[in-house]
Structure 1
């Protein structure tokens, strides 16, 4: 009996292997779809932070929270959620172009997976080139390319993505600095008043923080900030 089992085991294993091979070859697109989807989900946070307006929005929100003097309000989850939905709103034209040029033809079997990736990266690359500064593009192009292309549209992604991120960081810090100035003025006025009347034991931030929050609410600051951020793109 033992010899019979040992004799039949390789045959059964070979039969199951051949059945598995035929199943994979008959549904060749399914495993690659799974691999592509899992890979995309893994790198999705990095793509959102490096190829969308998310960086600028988060920098501005951080400056606003520091200027108001509220260390944990709104929470990080709230600001990230607001930033994600504003990013989705701003990237709708780009996502639509990616769907029309790459996703839909690949779903219909008209193009291969590699061709879909190449076509799908073109709308985000043009979007980033539109907002990347020429100085930042020149910086990374001179550092990574031996022969510089004739026009910015020919630059590879390894040049466009970091240049776009630097440009977004600069824009976020510029907006944050302008946003910080009115609240800094409130801090200076409160500090000078409390010092002049001899209230040395009372920290000025205890008085200025409620005033800054009240001022921000009275001018409908969140609406103004969101509108200014949307108009900056």
Structure 2
């Protein structure tokens, strides 16, 4: 798809699974959680009930590891009919602490791409969702802070969230490009606002972030295999 990016002055980047690895750790923790509850339910049932609990709790806890841990604890209590041993609850808490303490693993080409675009004079910003403290920690550990003019941790990524933020930062939608791994969160809302969007898939996607084939086809965006493929677009 041929798209004219000559008007673009500001490029927004999602963080988790666009700049660094994130969802992999959630999937690994879900596996360990199911093992801890194998005396109460099958793995499939545990996975299903945990997902339902996460969705039910989104309005209370938002996105991120802390809300995920609270949902695991609540699911464990429900599935065990409140018989889960204290030692197992401690193990669940430890799973969450391990996730938070994971090293930040940058995806291939991220630093090179950000440096190139920054050197070319583009204003780069981070637009992500999740827990504020966790995202600040990851950004600091990533070594990428110097490339960004602004970092925003959103409670959600709906059209209204983007619209309010772009207005607050005085960014014209015609001059804005969003880059991310989620069609639901990083592409469709921006396209609907009139901005441009680039989708760079990650090999693992949370079920909540998936969209139908019809929704994918109806959105006008560019799909790339790697963040490095952004560079030729702005030569």
Q: Which TM bucket (shorter chain)? A: under 0.3
Q: Which has the higher contact order (CA 8 A, sep 6+)?
A: 2
Please state which structure has a larger fraction of its residues in strand.
Answer: 2
More helix by share: 1
Rg comparison, structure with higher value: 1
Q: Give TM-score, length-normalised by structure 1.
A: 0.26
TM-score (structure 2 length as normaliser): 0.26
